[in-house]
Structure 1
């Protein structure tokens, strides 16, 4: 005879954050706002569970008209962009890819130059590997909107 068992009552996970025991629980939108969208990668403090040299993860929120300030060349990483919402164009040498439905994604590998443009306000999840320094856009070029 089976009965219904209720799950144990627990505190909500997002109410708890800890970096002391190697576990970090957060909110992508809130945490991303603190570090230009980046949630995980080599740029996080070494003692933070979100520090990684293997992979970078970004929660990117882009207003309409937002564009990458400069073309990426000499790419040494593989990248995956997944559209959460909006309409987002990724430009490659000789062609462009338009992400327009939730879940649309594009993957590209090493040695593929690229740039991007938010055709509408967009939210994307970006995964890149490995996590290597040297790709940050200089401060004076960040946040540039066309026109």
Structure 2
């Protein structure tokens, strides 16, 4: 029987999935956190953590919100630094990006929809 109220911890539940704790990849399929509507990540990063490789999502839009610290996202034509709690950046499918944690930080990221194999590496757009 499916539960109507779920209580958990985003950091511990996402620990084995790079912080992702909701999305199509959650099993079993009848778990309310298993959904193709969206993916949610609780990202805890140490200063210097980065994704050097450029990537795009073919279908998903992405929203990253700074909880604490300082986090920088690089896009083809601009660099965005999130430095105040609540700063966010939203980008659409097909936008190449990479990132670096400029200090110890926590980022909440939401992607929609949640589609298997949607994120792929691309060559630097520059």
TM-score (norm. length: structure 1) = 0.74
Aligned-CA RMSD value: 2.0
Please name the residue that 1:81 is paired with: 64
Instruction: Decide whether the 8 Å contact of 2:59 with 2:118 is kept in 1.
Output: no
Determine which of 40, 61, 82 is the counterpart of 2:44.
61
Instruction: Decide whether the 8 Å contact of 2:66 with 2:88 is kept in 1.
Output: yes
Aligned residues: 120
Higher Cα radius of gyration? 1
Instruction: Decide whether the 8 Å contact of 2:57 with 2:120 is kept in 1.
Output: no
- The C-alpha deviation readout for 1:15-71, integer Å capped at 9, x for no partner, is xxxx84253210122222233201100110112210010100000001110111421
Determine which of 10, 13, 25 is the counterpart of 1:43.
25
Distance in 2, matches of 1:80 and 1:65, equals: 21
Residue 30 (1) aligns with residue 30 (2): no
Runs of 4+ in 1 over 3 A off after TM superposition: 135-138
Q: The residue matched to 1:29 in structure 2 has which SS? A: helix
Give the drift of 1:75.
Answer: 3.3
Please name the residue that 1:95 is paired with: 78
Instruction: Decide whether the 8 Å contact of 1:84 with 1:102 is kept in 2.
Output: yes
CA spacing shift, 1:75–1:113, aligned 2, 3 Å: farther
Q: Structure 2: any 5+ residue segments left out of the alignment?
A: 122-126
Give the drift of 1:113.
Answer: 0.8
Greater relative CO (CA pairs within 8 A, separation 6+): 2
Q: The residue matched to 2:42 in structure 1 has which SS? A: strand
Determine which of 98, 112, 119 is the counterpart of 2:95.
112
